[in-house]
Structure 1
Amino acid sequence: MAKPRTAAENKAARAAAQAERKAASKERRTQLWQAFNLQRKQDKRLLPYMIGAFVLIVAAAVVASLLLGGLFTMVTLIPLGVVLGALVAFIIFGRRAQKSVYRQAEGQTGAAAWVLDNLRGKWRVSPGVAATGHFDAVHRVIGRPGVIFVGEGSSTRVKPLLAQEKKRTARLVGDVPIYDVVVGNGEGEVPLSKLERHLTRLPANITVKQMDTLESRLAALGSRAGAGVMPKGPLPNAGKMRGVQRTVRRK
């Protein structure tokens, strides 16, 4: 039986937890500030849009408070306008930063795998289950829709890989739906910036428990991609924004 902690030990544990939370909060603020400076240098319209949105919303709140009259209305609406204006400005920053990340990553080796690795929600991602020597790759995703294969690279080389993986997988998953997606800007392809939205809009066909069963079953298939042909992810400029993107989402 574990020995109960003393009051001093409990106090030390609380202090350590508080210090850890403060450190994490400081790290997030540092990441956001770095991201803002990076985006500001790359995007000349960022500051005008953020400042314009903030001023417009605060001005609307001031005008509304003057028209409605009353001290209580002014005290309520103006601070609300300041908070709302700051929130909208932050949303503008997050959206434009995210678009910048996708622009930098698009067309680079491993960009689709990077997007899949940052999916929000309960997704089970296995990058590079099949690949070619030309850095074309197929990634497997297990989610509520079923099994999804995402291919990136030359469509003429990726499509046969997708067909092979779907055939191999169909033998094990039974009636579970299998989808395939080719990332790109051609006809019938899904742009990198819309990949997450495309996956989240697929219908929910299986439960989380079935996802766990599928993941265990498909693990036996392994990967047919050698270490030398596995995509290494997008170039560093986009990679640096990965933590930033997660920080923006948490805010």
Structure 2
Amino acid sequence: MARKEKSENPGRLKQIALTYKMTRRADRWIGLILLGVGLVTFGVVLGIGFLIGHPVYLGILGFLLAFLAVAIIFGRRAERAAFGQMEGQPGAAAAVLDNMGRGWVVTPAVAINRSQDVVHRAVGRAGVVLVGEGNPNRLRGLMGSERKKMSRLLGDVPVHQVVVGNGEGEVPIKRLRQTLVKKPRVLAGHQVTEVNDRLRAVGDLMSNMPIPKGPMPKGMRMPKGPSGGRR
């Protein structure tokens, strides 16, 4: 067990160091900010300790609280820096959805067009959420078609539409997860399972056609439908 812990710790420290370097590229003052937060938190708690006559106990508590405060601030600023680097990049929404956590089942690229506008699907207690990446005007028809298909298949299950972007009526990538989590929960756990089972039975674009990773080759033709071409 001791060897296992020793082998894991260097990996965690290396990950923290890499995260710090990535954050510092986007947030040059991160080091001074974390240092300031730690010193102020520790100083305030230690000062209270001197006032009440328990500097040692409050000093230990202040050190723990300072470490916690630094960890929280670092986590938030690292997340902000990561979203800043992801913004505008193809597949950014899929990466965020992939980390939605328990209670959500995500299927990337359930619909895609020649211009590489993509619609992802997330199923949870809020129902079905279609998340579009790409040109809003082109996504309107692509998502509308997918929503009609979902409505015919799922009946009264709510189907929401979210377009990722910074324009009017769009959701910034950094608020995508929060937007989905805040949607009203209307389905029970077993209903979510039933919806996912029904969708898996029907299949989607990813299961019907292999899509290569990376940018779509220019000139590649998209299939017109399940019936295939003429013989």
Cα distance in 2, alignment partners of residues 97 and 37 from structure 1:
10
Q: Which has the higher contact order (CA 8 A, sep 6+)?
A: 1
2:44 equivalent in structure 1: 60
In the aligned structure 1, how far is the partner of 2:42 from the partner of 2:143? 52
Deviation of 1:224 (Å): 3.3
Cα deviation digits, residues 40-77 of structure 1 (max 9, x gap): 344221011100011101111121111112xxx22221
Give runs of aligned pairs for residues 186-201 of structure 1, distance below 5 A.
Answer: 186-201=167-182
What amino acid does structure 1 have at the position aligned with 2:35?
A: I
More helix by share: 1
Name structure 1 gaps, 5 residues minimum.
1-14, 233-251
Question: How has the CA–CA distance of structure 1 residues 231 and 190 changed in structure 2, closer, same or farther, with 3 Å as cutoff?
Answer: farther
* SS of aligned partner of 1:147: strand
Give the drift of 1:175.
1.3
Distance 2:9 2:155 in 1: 46
Question: How far did 1:121 drift?
Answer: 2.5
The structure 2 residue matched to 1:115, chosen from 96, 100, 117, is: 96
Q: Secondary structure at the match of 2:111?
A: strand
Alpha-carbon deviation of 1:25? Answer: 4.2
1:133: which partner in 2? 114
C-alpha distance in 1 between matches for 2:178 and 2:8: 29
- Alignment partner, residue 43 of structure 1: 27
SS for the counterpart of 2:162 is: strand
Aligned length: 213
Q: Is the 8 A contact 2:23 2:82 kept in 1?
A: no
Query: How far apart are 1:211 and its partner, in Å?
Result: 1.2
Identical positions, percent: 37
| Other structure's SS at 1:120 match | coil
TM-score, scaled relative to structure 1? 0.79
Q: What secondary structure is seen at the aligned counterpart in 2 of 1:180?
A: strand
Which position in structure 1 is the counterpart of 2:229? none
Question: What TM-score, normalized to structure 2?
Answer: 0.85
The question of 1:215 aligning with 2:199 is answered no
Structure 2: give runs of 5+ residues left out of the alignment: 216-231
Q: CA deviation at 1:30?
A: 1.9
- Following superposition, the deviation at residue 227 of structure 1 comes to 4.2
SS in 1 for 2:205: coil
With over 3 angstroms needed to count, the CA separation of the structure-2 counterparts of 1:145 and 1:156, relative to structure 1, is: same
